[in-house]
Structure 1
Amino acid sequence: MNAISKPRVFSRGSYSEFVRINNILRSETVGGALLLAATVVALVWANSPIAESYFNLRDFKIGPESLHLNLSLGSWASDGLLAIFFFVAGLELKREFVAGDLRNPARAIVPITAAVGGVILPALFFVAVNWTAGPEVLRGWAIPTATDIAFALAVLAVISTHLPTALRTFLLTLAVVDDLIAIAIIAVFYPGEMNFGFLALAILPLVAFTWLVQKRISSWYLLIPLAVATWALVHASGVHATVAGVLLGFAVPVIRSAKRGGPDAGPGLAEHFEHVFRPVSAGFAVPLFAFFSAGVALGGVAGLKSAFTDSVAIGIVGALIVGKFLGVLGATWIVTKTTKATLDDGLAWIDVVGLALLAGVGFTVSLLISELSFGDDSPHYSHAKVAILAGSLVAALLATVVLRIRNRHYRKLAEIESRDDDGDGIPDVYQQG
């Protein structure tokens, strides 16, 4: 087989997928800016003279105790609002594999393998650093495993990069996949006190929700109560409630039914729900979670020194910066060496290096797992949060340096590729044979 017929890693997708991904990127970029703003406000407030008011607000409880829902506002954000985030992630991932460019196994294998590598290597790095620290500390092994979609894409927007859409699609898919791996880890390794009765009851509204959406019924007054019931019962069962969001997302059909015109009749229900709920997730749910979760009392220079002499913090920072980088880059390299896939024409490995560094921007799910790993009374709890912020910041800065170098090159290419000489509304580059 000659080089021309080999499958290309990061090759250009279809034009419809290009348009859809760009719309997602714009939404997530705005969400990333709000996420950053919420984080800064939380950190400033938590380290101000009125810090007590922040923690009182975060710990204020509301909700019916009889339904196991008398939760603090911080818990409502992590258990409730993040379910919306993972619902959207479930919709996105299902659509990618059913109707998106990743339904082609040759395309899917790269971001999936990279995501797996980006989960395994950081976890191993953390365990290696904390191997002798005891089982309590080792509970944090999964903290550095997830890439934050909104923050990573916000970094791309801030540095004004003209990276090819295929690379940005890769980052988006990688982040979604490793977030779902992380939520699977949460379900298996971080359960609460299990109540299998509530878990069995959760199946009933989930099945009803699935039946309705499979019938293409989108009435909010039917679906939202069933979704809330599924979430509440999963929460009461001891399984982390965000798992309910993923299951509900997977239940939604991607392709239109034959009665409604079939696959060629326009967007299906999953894409419709994604369009409705992504702004809620990126613009409200995730920033509010960050506001309640990122507020940590740093304790001045002494507090920072204490944090960064803790092996937990050292393991998290190293895992985000080194482990993620080696995991994503190494897995991508292995795919090209063990299969017939090669990098697409015009791309260089330095592009993958920059993307692998950017994958080290962990935040939302990392903060969530840090809360599940260590209790409020553990000193590792605040140290882990400081490490997540620091590691993500360093990874973002390193990625910025690399990607800025490539920015000028791709800006020139973008000017050429945007030409539409035949005036049909589709860039000519998508119509080449």
Structure 2
Amino acid sequence: MFRRLPAVGDFARYLRTETVGGVILLVAAALALLAANGPWSSIYEGLRDARLGPAALHLDLTVGEWAKDGLLALFFFVAGLELKRELVIGELSRFRDAVLPVIAAVGGMLVPAALALAVGWGDPRIGSAWSIPVATDIAFALGVLALTGSGLPSSARVFLLSLAVVDDLGAILLIATVFTTGFDLLAAAAAVALLALYWFLQRRRLRTAWLYVPIAVGTWAAVHATGAHATIAGVALALLTRVRSDPGEDESPCLRLEHRLQPWSAGVAVPVFAFFASGVPIGADTFGRLTTDRMALAVIVGLVVGKLVGILGFSLLAVRLGVARMPAGLGKRDLTAVAVLGGVGFTVSLLIADLALDGEDVELATSAVLVASTLAALLAAVLLVRRSRAHEAADDT
């Protein structure tokens, strides 16, 4: 008579799929736009700007800042775990397989930045805004791929994941160097000491969460206190996590943590960040400015055109020069579709926009990111569906 609700384990399994994660992300962004442009806008803004946390530790942050600095650290920790696993024991453990997404990611950062600078040349805001289109959103892009490219070989997902993680790491390094005002050496020393302790305990095969959770929280707080963006802590901890399992060990710490934390990342961290980052007032005036404002155009061109040219161009050049090889089962048309998907710059692009600009310019850049990411996702979806059908037809013959 009554339908049984999924067990907690089943629900977590749903959240581990890129399709579900991408849908939750889109729903969160849509709700944010409705909240910011509807009769509840004052409630939404009051919640986003409410302050929480101990002022004595310089952690009296707004709810929006907690989502940006805290929850995204979990997101980058999980992404870093998956990347390290692929590099150590996965499909990227061989140099010629691993180097292609790295080269593609470099192209996917350099060309969008160059195009943004060219389009926005002469606009003083472009001195900071050029960095907005350098990143690819991992969750959103993988969700579109899972939804529309199910017929493609698994190497397409590994390539996209690796590319997205590498250029997001590049974006985080960019944040650390360009948008860090002041640097606390004492806090940096504390962060390094905690990271060293984490590495030591990993090598000693200790597994208790009672040690690791305080170390992780302390590392995050120390990195935040340095003046650098706190998400760097998540990446650093992930890269120090042990990947290979010992004899008699069911799963390595990397796999175990990824398995347990990925649902929290996909179901809580990224959607909550998207909810507070995407809520910008959008009216006819905003849409009009997207087609005339040079900074907004620079962001859109950088994401939609720059990502495609950079990822595809650098990849094909690397393969032609013999430096790298194409992912197994993928052709140039498949690579083109994935390169278009690289223009989905949602999460980290919104983060950089918030750091690079102020006031109304943040809202305009956020609108440009949303529009560009939507265009890239729709175009990529069309291409991925076609390529997926082509692969399925080839398998049937």
1:46 aligns with 2:32: no
1:286 counterpart letter in structure 2: V
1:370 aligns with 2:353: yes
Task: Quote the Cα distance in structure 1 between the aligned partners of 2:40 and 2:186.
Answer: 44
- Is the contact made by 1:328 and 1:356 (CA closer than 8 Å) also made in structure 2? yes
1:340 deviation in Å? 6.8
2:379 counterpart letter in structure 1: L
Moved more, 91-100 or 341-350: 341-350
Q: How does 1:283-362 map to 2 (within 5 A)?
A: 283-298=267-282, 300-339=283-322, 343=326, 347-362=330-345
Who is 2:9 aligned against? none
Who is 1:96 aligned against? 86
* Alignment deviations for residues 169-217 of structure 1 (CA, whole Å, 9 cap, x no partner): 1111111111111111111111133222222222232222222122222
Distance 1:266 1:110, change over 3 A: farther
1:31 aligns with 2:12: no
- Is the contact made by 2:35 and 2:41 (CA closer than 8 Å) also made in structure 1? yes
1:130 deviation in Å? 1.7
Structure having the higher Rg: 1
Distance 1:129 1:219, change over 3 A: same
Q: How does 1:219-234 map to 2 (within 5 A)?
A: 219-234=208-223
Count residues with an aligned counterpart.
Answer: 385
SS in 1 for 2:304: helix
* Alignment deviations for residues 240-280 of structure 1 (CA, whole Å, 9 cap, x no partner): 10011111111111113xxx318xx6532111111111111
Who is 1:400 aligned against? 381
1:386 aligns with 2:367: yes
Distance 1:46 1:141, change over 3 A: same
Task: Quote the Cα distance in structure 2 between the aligned partners of 1:25 and 1:355.
Answer: 23
SS in 1 for 2:243: coil
1:276 aligns with 2:260: yes
Task: Quote the Cα distance in structure 2 between the aligned partners of 1:346 and 1:92.
Answer: 22
Segments of structure 2 that go 5 or more residues without pairing to the other structure are 1-12
Who is 2:183 aligned against? 194
2:275 counterpart letter in structure 1: F
Segments of structure 1 that go 5 or more residues without pairing to the other structure are 1-22, 417-433
SS in 2 for 1:102: coil
1:54 deviation in Å? 0.6
Task: Quote the Cα distance in structure 2 between the aligned partners of 1:167 and 1:212.
Answer: 35
1:63 deviation in Å? 0.5
Distance 1:353 1:128, change over 3 A: same
- Is the contact made by 2:155 and 2:330 (CA closer than 8 Å) also made in structure 1? no
1:55 aligns with 2:42: no
1:159 deviation in Å? 2.5
CA RMSD of aligned residues (A): 2.0
SS in 2 for 1:254: coil
Distance 1:160 1:338, change over 3 A: closer
Distance 1:352 1:286, change over 3 A: same
Task: Quote the Cα distance in structure 2 between the aligned partners of 1:205 and 1:336.
Answer: 41
Distance 1:403 1:296, change over 3 A: same
- Is the contact made by 2:72 and 2:270 (CA closer than 8 Å) also made in structure 1? yes
Who is 1:261 aligned against? 247
TM-score under structure 1 normalisation?
0.85
2:45 counterpart letter in structure 1: F
1:407 counterpart letter in structure 2: S
- Is the contact made by 1:143 and 1:367 (CA closer than 8 Å) also made in structure 2? yes
Q: How does 1:246-257 map to 2 (within 5 A)?
A: 246-256=235-245
- Is the contact made by 1:320 and 1:391 (CA closer than 8 Å) also made in structure 2? yes
Task: Quote the Cα distance in structure 2 between the aligned partners of 1:211 and 1:81.
Answer: 26
1:349 counterpart letter in structure 2: K
Task: Quote the Cα distance in structure 1 between the aligned partners of 2:132 and 2:263.
Answer: 26
SS in 2 for 1:103: coil
* Alignment deviations for residues 207-229 of structure 1 (CA, whole Å, 9 cap, x no partner): 22222122222211111011101
SS in 1 for 2:17: helix
Distance 1:24 1:85, change over 3 A: farther
1:110 aligns with 2:100: yes
Give the % identical residues: 45
- Is the contact made by 2:16 and 2:266 (CA closer than 8 Å) also made in structure 1? no
* Alignment deviations for residues 351-408 of structure 1 (CA, whole Å, 9 cap, x no partner): 1111111111110110111111012x2x221111001010011111111222222222
SS in 2 for 1:101: coil
TM-score under structure 2 normalisation?
0.92
Task: Quote the Cα distance in structure 2 between the aligned partners of 1:368 and 1:239.
Answer: 13
- Is the contact made by 2:97 and 2:325 (CA closer than 8 Å) also made in structure 1? no
Distance 1:215 1:126, change over 3 A: same
